[in-house]
Chain A
């Protein structure tokens, strides 16, 4: 059978073999949790506990501010020892609640399990919102927002993202293998809430065990399992929709504009926890990997665990890393150190050795057009980057810089090692700044 896919893209080495076969392990509690109030796209939550206060596992410690925002919860029971600015994965220090665990790991008594049959769709969305569920693929967009599209945007196709196209990462893969029921319950709940007619789970062909397992579980249900050709960035929302449905999300639009919604498979599991068990999002699976780590693992971590603790649990470092990356190597963020905490979007911790850090010097563009062939959006990355670097903002915009999804495929393939996507990001920021400043 010919596997489905999208146009463009690249084939970076998967490097998943280091952790793909490792069952998920529960990460022991660290000595201290650093829980940032800003972990999602949208307004940061507002702290609602005080220093010295005892908190229970799952208790709200930061309240949502506005619609595109979610609350933050205590990852374990213990004492709030500080509320201060701490190192944050996004770079600058941001407000965080620091919790010292009491070791009891006692759940809050306020959490209410519910039978899904007793709940309306609106109740379910509210439970997901209160549980602080965000997209688990890495972008951390509040899940309840995608579950409540405006009434004129009818969702007919619901796609679950089990692609995990980022090299090295295996968290979603292990989730699919080990917790298919929890995921599929969330799939059914999301289908009910959105009223979608077609439900698809997209999985890349490098996870044949997951494809087989889900095909078996979904037999006799309306859920389709679609095997996809292995290619980056297939997990990008628009590319996944194109691969599965053959339809393109309009430029500047959202999936709901063509009646589609996409959720990560791990988000579906978190939705199950929220709706059925009333449990907030306080833990996730994170792949700790890279050649600088002694024993790569898939860990079930509590949100707010310092990265240094994850490294300790994985046997420590083989050698001091040259780069600490939160997420995968294509779209992850380099970190200032291991004192930074894991957040709701931390799908992976990748430690590269200094020798692996790419330090090739940039040369002139030889117009080889590889970036055009790699670009999943069909842009001309080299042209846009050249305009952006010369601050020719209008020209960059005219070449559709704003359509760039920043997947980095262009930079990956460029033989002249030009920082193409980096320049385009700069150009996009300049375009937005210009828009804000003009009346």
Chain B
């Protein structure tokens, strides 16, 4: 037997799951939400999706070329950032706004830190927040859904959360009449960011990720659960002023945030205990910003703030090592 043998230390087999496969699965899981967005918001949603995704891929390629690194856009991570960014933008976003967001997400949100795996903040949310602060008009111009085939044009309106916030600020009470029913909110027939409108489509995609064991329950459950508990508490205290937990759950970006943005592996804690704390922190901050902050929506800020706390959480909430009794080092 005179031929080459591979020598290596064990293990000699691998699960076959690779980063690229994980990223692809996440992309597939976002297809329902993208489909619903295009159905409700038409070509404008499609163009935002395309510009954001291609913009992210191009920015990643340019950055890596400039830094003399191998170009890794086929790993799918930049494409995910692009799709997630698009899902976090209003359907009426002008092309330059979307493209600027893509460049910010990849260049400032990811590559300056060293690329995949090294960024402390969720790149898509970094871009969204930069745009929200820099271009408040464009970033808060919302369109009423105009389902394909309905013949309707996209008209400007307020999101349910925005309408509520305005009413509370002006009158101190909930608006007399809320646009849309809970069923509309669940299916996505409401104004909002491209990807946040349909809880159903998002949950469908999340179910696939659970099945693929790419998502664990810890962060979404802790996030959604703490929002429901805290918003429920305020609602019980004063239902005339505070909307009920289901409203919090289905309008705005909570489902998109809890299942897709707050579960970004790179920017969240690695231990189960850490994930639970991260999720609870996101939930509490979201409710506080929604109820008492200047912005109607707080999911993005909450997640970014908890991203900043992630290294600290990882440092202090380590899993208990087997054979080490609780209380001892």
Contacts and interface: CB of A to CB of B under 8 A. Distances in A.
Interface of A: 7, 10, 12, 167, 238, 242, 248-253, 308, 317, 320-325, 329-338, 350, 352, 354, 357-358, 360, 363-370, 372-373, 376-380, 382-383, 399-400, 403, 406, 408, 411-417, 421-422, 425
Nearest to A168: B13
Contacts of A252: 323
B15 to A, nearest CB: 5
> Could you tell me the dominant secondary structure of chain B's interface residues?
loop
A321 B5 contact: yes
A352 B8 CA distance: 13
A415 B21 contact: yes
B115 interface: yes
B322 A403 contact: yes
B152 interface: no
A7 B322 CA distance: 9
Contacts of A308: 1
27 contacts: A10-B15, A12-B13, A238-B322, A249-B323, A250-B324, A250-B325, A253-B323, A308-B1, A320-B1, A322-B6, A323-B12, A329-B10, A329-B12, A330-B10, A360-B14, A364-B116, A366-B116, A369-B270, A372-B272, A376-B322, A377-B323, A400-B324, A413-B17, A415-B19, A416-B117, A421-B11, A425-B9
Interface stretch (B33-41, B132-140, B313-321): B313-321
B5 A322 contact: yes
A330 B14 CA distance: 9
B321 A338 contact: no
A368 B323 contact: no
Count chain A CB atoms within 10 A of each CB in B5, B22, B324 and give the residue with the most: B5
Nearest to A239: B322
A352 B13 CA distance: 10
Contacts of A329: 10-13
Interface of B: 1, 3, 5-15, 17-19, 21-22, 72, 75, 77, 115-118, 214, 216, 265-268, 270-272, 275, 318-325
A408 B14 CA distance: 10
Count chain A CB atoms within 10 A of each CB in B17, B266, B320 and give the residue with the most: B17
A111 to B, nearest CB: 37
Contacts of A376: 322
A276 to B, nearest CB: 36
Contacts of B19: 363, 366, 415-416
A389 to B, nearest CB: 14
Contact of A380 (B6, B318, B324): B318
A323 B11 contact: no
Q: Would you list the 4 A-B pairs with minimal beta carbon distance, nearest first? A: A408-B11, A364-B117, A251-B323, A369-B270
B119 to A, nearest CB: 10
A378 B321 contact: yes
Nearest to A308: B1
A417 B323 contact: no
B266 A366 contact: yes
A356 to B, nearest CB: 8
B321 A379 contact: yes
A386 to B, nearest CB: 11
Given A322-B6, A364-B115, A250 B323 contact: yes
B265 A372 contact: no
Nearest to A258: B323
Given A378-B321, A380-B318, A415-B17, A368 B11 contact: no
B288 to A, nearest CB: 27
A335 B12 CA distance: 12
Contacts of A324: 5
Count chain A CB atoms within 10 A of each CB in B5, B11, B272 and give the residue with the most: B11
A167 B323 CA distance: 26
Contacts of A321: 5
B284 to A, nearest CB: 23
A12 B321 CA distance: 23
A380 to B, nearest CB: 6
Nearest to B318: A380
A369 to B, nearest CB: 4
Nearest to B8: A334
A260 to B, nearest CB: 13
A325 B267 CA distance: 39
A400 B318 CA distance: 11
B122 to A, nearest CB: 12
Contacts of A368: 22, 214, 265
B11 A251 contact: no
Contacts of B324: 250-251, 400, 403
B15 A412 contact: yes
Contacts of A333: 9-10
Given A357-B6, A367-B270, A372 B319 contact: yes
B323 A238 contact: yes
Contact of A332 (B7, B10, B75, B322): B10
Nearest to A319: B3
A372 B320 CA distance: 11
Contacts of B216: 369, 373
Given A332-B10, A380-B270, A367 B322 contact: no
A182 to B, nearest CB: 30
Contacts of B318: 380, 399
A206 to B, nearest CB: 17
Contacts of A248: 322-323
Contacts of B75: 363
Contact of B13 (A242, A330, A365, A377): A330
Given A352-B12, A366-B265, 16 more contacts: A248-B323, A322-B6, A336-B5, A338-B1, A363-B19, A366-B77, A367-B265, A367-B267, A368-B214, A372-B270, A380-B270, A382-B270, A403-B322, A408-B10, A415-B17, A422-B8
A421 B9 CA distance: 9
A367 B266 contact: yes
B8 A403 contact: no
Contact of A422 (B5, B9, B115, B319): B9
B322 A12 contact: no
A413 B324 CA distance: 25
A336 B7 contact: yes
B321 A251 contact: yes
A406 to B, nearest CB: 8
A350 B12 CA distance: 10
B10 A331 contact: yes
Contacts of A7: 322
A325 B11 CA distance: 10
Contacts of A379: 319, 321
Contacts of A370: 17
A242 B322 CA distance: 10
A248 B320 CA distance: 12
Nearest to A365: B117
A363 B116 contact: yes
Contacts of A12: 13, 15
